[in-house]
Chain A
Amino acid sequence: ETGVTQTPRHLVMGMTNKKSLKCEQHLGHNAMYWYKQSAKKPLELMFVYNFKEQTENNSVPSRFSPECPNSSHLFLHLHTLQPEDSALYLCASSRAGGSGGFRTDTQYFGPGTRLTVL
């Protein structure tokens, strides 16, 4: 978990609120990821950024809006969420390299944000 930080660690929000999750990596990586982890479900990849460009959007509802201003920071903006969006949201980073693609040989995860939507 060292090297990737996430804030806040816990968040409770109402369905009409707007909030943002923040992720920062200090590993010099240039690929960053958002995952959603719900009880009794596999880890779900939400978004992938490679060199600040979004390269994957896994059919995520528009109430989740990612932002990657630079290779070290990743945000997930939340608005008008539903109770079923309550989950652990994990950020990860990895080294990217090679033309035409990138290698995600190892991903380094942050501690996650536990989100509860009331």
Chain B
Amino acid sequence: SQQGEEDPQALSIQEGENATMNCSYKTSINNLQWYRQNSGRGLVHLILIRSNEREKHSGRLRVTLDTSKKSSSLLITASRAADTASYFCALRNAGGTSYGKLTFGQGTILTVHP
């Protein structure tokens, strides 16, 4: 099954700046999710966007989905040093025998400097 490809692989910014991460994929999806992982810890779910949605917000997070381009972006506004983590997109494919399974990308490592 496919996995999302995140870009960039690493991003380094100053506190207060916005951070944008992108995820591209190849086949049809039911939904796309973004997760965050602090170093050596478990993943934490941030936001889910369904294939019939184009944009979702949660606090300082904004996710967009363009199914025609098969891509999604995660924007973190007014970043803080505590946002330093790895961010992963996860795909739930539409249909097929692997329904219900999430496929994770390699992630974007975000570093926010105080």
Q: Which residues does A use to contact B, with CB under 8 Å?
A: 1, 4, 6, 31, 40-43, 45, 48, 50, 56, 88, 90, 92, 96, 101-112, 114
In the complex, the answer to whether B41 meets A42 with C-beta atoms within 8 Å is no
A107–B100 Cα gap in the complex (Å)?
11
Q: Show 24 residue pairs from A and B whose CB-CB distance is below 8 angstroms, ordered by the A residue.
A: A1-B41, A1-B42, A42-B3, A42-B103, A45-B102, A56-B98, A56-B101, A88-B40, A96-B100, A102-B100, A104-B100, A105-B31, A105-B33, A106-B33, A106-B45, A107-B90, A108-B45, A109-B42, A109-B43, A110-B42, A111-B42, A112-B40, A112-B42, A114-B40
Identify which of A101, A102, A103, A109 contacts B44 (C-beta below 8 A): A109
B interface bracket (residues with beta carbon within 8 Å of A): 20 to 34
Contact B100 A1 (CB under 8 A): no
Contact A106 B103 (CB under 8 A): no
B43 close to A101 (CB less than 8 A):
no
